[in-house]
Amino acid sequence: MTPVVLFYLFAGILVFAGLMVVTVRNPVHAALFLVLAFFTSAAVWMLLEAEFLSLALVLVYVGAVMVLFLFVVMMLDVQGAPLRQGFIRYLPVGALVAGVAALELYLVVGSDRLFGSQAFPLPQRAGAAYSNTQEIGAVLYTKYVYPFEIAAVILLVAIVAAIALSLRRRGDARSQRPGDQVRVRREDRVRLVAMPAEKGE
Amino acid sequence: MSAETVLTALLPEVLLLAGLLLLIGLEIAVPRHRGAFAVSLLAVAAAAAAAAWLSAGGSSAAPFPGHYSVGPDTFAAKAVVLALAVPVLLLARGEFPGGPFYPLLVSSLLGVCLVVSADSFLTLFLGVELMSIPVYVLVVLAFQREESAEAALKYLVLSGTASATFLLGVSLLYGGSGSLALSAFSTALGSRDVLATAGVVLVLSAFFLKAAVVPFHTWAPDAYEAASVPVTAYMAAVVKAGVLFAVLRLFALAPAERPLVDLLALLPLASMVWGNLAAMRQDGLRRLIAYSSIAHAGYLFYAFLGDGPGRFQAVTFYLLAYGLMNVLVLAALPPAGDDVARDRLERLKGLFQRQPYAAWMIAVAMLSLAGIPPFPGFVAKFLVFKNVVAAGYPVYAVLGLVGSYLGLYFYLRVIQYLFMAPPPPAEEASAAEGEGAPSRLALAATVLCLLPAILIALFPGWVIDRLGG
């Protein structure tokens, strides 16, 4: 099969999966279709000779991020039904907007002058000895080292932000302090009261 | 390039990053948030002092060529932004005894510093994100009302849209020039190529959204109102400054060319008119500040009509004067038991009889924001409009001045409330009872805003020279 046929096959599956993500009722199914979409785009990237990025997409997004995503969806137990309220009511406006957007896209992309194959000629094919990974590594830690470090700081801040949002200490929460529990003495807990004995009847 | 040169060039950022890591460590290790305020105040003040010192020393370097460079003017810009954050931190002491507020604020400041020095779209984007991500959380941090969460979500979604728009524009510019350098933007400004123009317009509209210029302003009033007072001050003064410095970096010295000039003039003009008109109808102080900041975003973007060299001075001076005055209003606002009550404009009625100092501070800030002559806001507006006229757009300058006169009404209405209106009637008295004297730190914050304001009002020329350009 030629790459062109493969491309159209993958692109078709990708568009189908993308459509299903936003239309299926069940959020778990939507997440699974998102996995399919990521996987298919990884295949498209492979066709573009971006092997390393393609595998990283599969490993990181499909392998790690989406599993996390599925956990969250299952934990939150999102009900699909309320989300669909007003679907029919908003359909005409939505369809109008989508139609206008599609027309505009056609007007821009449809003309060969801007996005046609003349405007973007095919890049030179790299030989078999060319290592994608090596090239990325060579620029990532030399030319792009500072943006790389900043991205690390952003991830750190994202963790702080997520904790700030989810960790709310309630004023009325009660917790045990094991240190105090161990350190407690008899006098703190028991008070001996001297009482005169009473006579029974 | 030796490590010493790199560290000197990065000194403000290194200090902020050290402060950030120390704050996170403190949060984990020390119970009851001890020291968070002191560490963050120290880190920000030290970074501001370092930036001012390096700016005065005239040092310049490019530690990461093509991504990050510093010069006297970028150090001056960083010093302005970091100095504006100091009174904000003083204000925050009462509302946030500790916790995630301080690390988030410091990391956002780190993002602003990166934006100011960015040389490539990559650094610029990362800087803008690092600046905005903590602010989404800061808005909702003092969660007291249901609307806060809604406003924060609105801000997050719209700001995310702006980021996506920015990336789309950058990808078009990258496709045209094959380079991630910021100079691709200024080159595309003069280009007749459709894709380059589309890229420029997309990037510009992203920053219009981040700075709340009129068709893209809807998030601002809600977010400013939802946030607690120090966060509102931070957004109005520092985040706005960060966005404008990003645009300054993008434009560099390139002049605005014909088809784009109209976009750069009409949307800010609409912003001034609509911001000033809508501010007249507000009865909450923070919403008023938000609409006033929308109008001020208009004046600030007007500065880009002017010629390259004068632009940096005009924008930096404006941001300094405007930021100081915004923080001053919010610092002088008397505290109240209830956050919603504190915000109400009605409560300012007759404030002069109760707290003359606070009333005078708010009045000075309002007159300056309105641009009345002896106050710093006047010099700032004068610089902007002078540059617009000098660049050959007298019609836009006149329209802008007319738009700015619309603002006089609501700034003066606040002053009327402060000095001439009778104190609130009996039912309001209960709200006024919760009104205490401002804390000592809030007083310190007003002094920190007032002293530089007096300095730039008395010696504007000297300050403008220090700001470089």
> Which chain B residue's Cα is nearest to A162?
B137
Would you list the domain boundaries of chain A? Answer: 1-81, 89-122, 125-165
| Rounded-to-integer distance, Cα B124 and Cα B184, Å | 13
Q: A 85-124 residues with CB below 8 A of B?
A: 114
CB of B103 less than 8 A from some CB of A: yes
Taking CB atoms and an 8 Å limit, are A163 and B123 in contact across chains? no
Q: A 132-151 residues with CB below 8 A of B?
A: 143-147, 150-151
Q: Which residues of A touch B148 (CB under 8 A)?
A: none
Instruction: Of B268, B300, B267, B269, give the one whose Cα is nearest residue B380.
Output: B300
| Mean pLDDT, contiguous 10-residue spans, chain B (469 residues) | 82 93 87 81 93 86 86 89 92 80 93 92 93 90 76 90 93 87 86 84 92 87 87 91 91 78 87 90 87 92 83 89 91 75 77 84 89 86 89 88 88 87 61 63 86 86 75
The whole-angstrom distance between A32's CA and the closest CA on chain B is 24
Taking CB atoms and an 8 Å limit, are A153 and B17 in contact across chains? yes
Taking CB atoms and an 8 Å limit, are B100 and A160 in contact across chains? yes
| Rounded-to-integer distance, Cα A81 and Cα B198, Å | 40
> Which chain B residue's Cα is nearest to A164?
B100
Whole-structure pTM value: 0.85
Q: Are B448 and B323 in contact (CB under 8 A)?
A: no
Confidence at residue B352, expressed as pLDDT on a 0 to 100 scale: 83
> Which chain B residue's Cα is nearest to A146?
B64
Taking CB atoms and an 8 Å limit, are A161 and B100 in contact across chains? yes
Residue from A114, A146, A165 whose CB has the most chain B CBs within 10 Å, to mutate: A146
For residue A116, the 8-state DSSP code is S
CB of B133 less than 8 A from some CB of A: yes
Confidence at residue B435, expressed as pLDDT on a 0 to 100 scale: 62
Confidence at residue A119, expressed as pLDDT on a 0 to 100 scale: 66
CB atoms inside a 10 Å sphere around CB B143: 14
CATH class, range A1-81: mainly alpha
Q: Which residues pair with B344 in a beta bridge?
A: B284
For residue B107, the 8-state DSSP code is H
The whole-angstrom distance between A197's CA and the closest CA on chain B is 49
> Which chain A residue's Cα is nearest to B119?
A147
What value of ipTM does the predicted structure carry?
0.85
| Rounded-to-integer distance, Cα B53 and Cα B35, Å | 26
Say which of B68, B100, B195 has its CB closest to residue A164.
Answer: B100
DSSP H or E run through B63 = strand B61-64
Taking CB atoms and an 8 Å limit, are B64 and A145 in contact across chains? yes
| Mean pLDDT, contiguous 10-residue spans, chain A (201 residues) | 84 92 84 91 88 90 85 72 68 88 78 66 74 85 89 91 76 71 84 82 64
| Rounded-to-integer distance, Cα B455 and Cα B448, Å | 11
Q: Which residues of B touch A163 (CB under 8 A)?
A: 100
Confidence at residue B229, expressed as pLDDT on a 0 to 100 scale: 86
| Rounded-to-integer distance, Cα A11 and Cα B118, Å | 37
Taking CB atoms and an 8 Å limit, are A160 and B107 in contact across chains? yes
Long-range CB contacts (within 8 A, 24+) of B413-417: B413/B280, B414/B288, B414/B345, B414/B348, B414/B362, B414/B363, B414/B366, B415/B363, B415/B366, B415/B367, B417/B345, B417/B346, B417/B348, B417/B349, B417/B350, B417/B351
Q: Which residues of B touch A146 (CB under 8 A)?
A: 63-64, 67-68, 123
CB of A158 less than 8 A from some CB of B: yes
Taking CB atoms and an 8 Å limit, are B194 and A144 in contact across chains? no
Q: Which residues of B touch A147 (CB under 8 A)?
A: 67, 120, 122-123, 126
CB of A190 less than 8 A from some CB of B: no
Q: Which residues of A touch B136 (CB under 8 A)?
A: 161
Confidence at residue B372, expressed as pLDDT on a 0 to 100 scale: 85
Taking CB atoms and an 8 Å limit, are A161 and B137 in contact across chains? yes
